[in-house]
Amino acid sequence: MELHAHGSYHLNFENNILHIEAQGPFNETVLEKFHHDTHEIIKKHRAKKWASLVTYRGNGIFTPDAENALLKLMKHRARNGMIANASVLKESVHPDLQQTQLTRVYQAAKIHSHFFSEEKSAKNWLTQYLKERT
């Protein structure tokens, strides 16, 4: 899904991992569509326990409203089987701020989360995490 003024994303679900490629900026408009699309893909795969691997490209800073919307989305996901998240931040001008925002959201939603510099390590960690808990 591409909403250039509001960011873009691509979704793929494989081996109980929801792979998300996202590029900011992130606001409520893109998060509403994102929530709908992720809900549909998760419902389709019916995994009892699953995780997400999110690769953020570029400036992925969330507006305050978008951060609150993301928190609601993560709490919904946690109630629906999401047990972990791995985030990869690429080409970000403010990776420290982006990581702070995301950490705050995942902690508040009680979802185990880690940050990685590349997708392979993130996927390996999630695969092992899921294996130990399913």
76: nearest Cα among 115, 27, 35, 107: 35
* pLDDT score for 128: 98
Q: Is residue 106 part of a domain?
A: no
pLDDT of residue 6: 62
Count of domains observed in the chain: 1
Say what the pLDDT of residue 30 is: 79
Question: Taking the chain (134 residues) in consecutive chunks of 10 residues, what is each chunk's mean pLDDT?
Answer: 63 96 80 86 87 90 85 92 96 89 97 97 98 91
- Find all residues with CB under 8 Å of 8, minimum gap 6, and list them: 1, 2, 22, 23, 30
pLDDT given for residue 81 in this prediction: 93
110 assigned to some structural domain: no
**Residue 10's domain spans which residues?**
1-48+65-93
Does 1 map to a domain? yes
* Within a domain: 122: no
DSSP 26: B
Q: How many residues does the chain have?
A: 134
Which among 1, 23, 27 is positioned nearest to 12, based on CA atoms? 1
The answer to the question of residue 57 being in a domain is: no
100 belongs to a structural domain: no
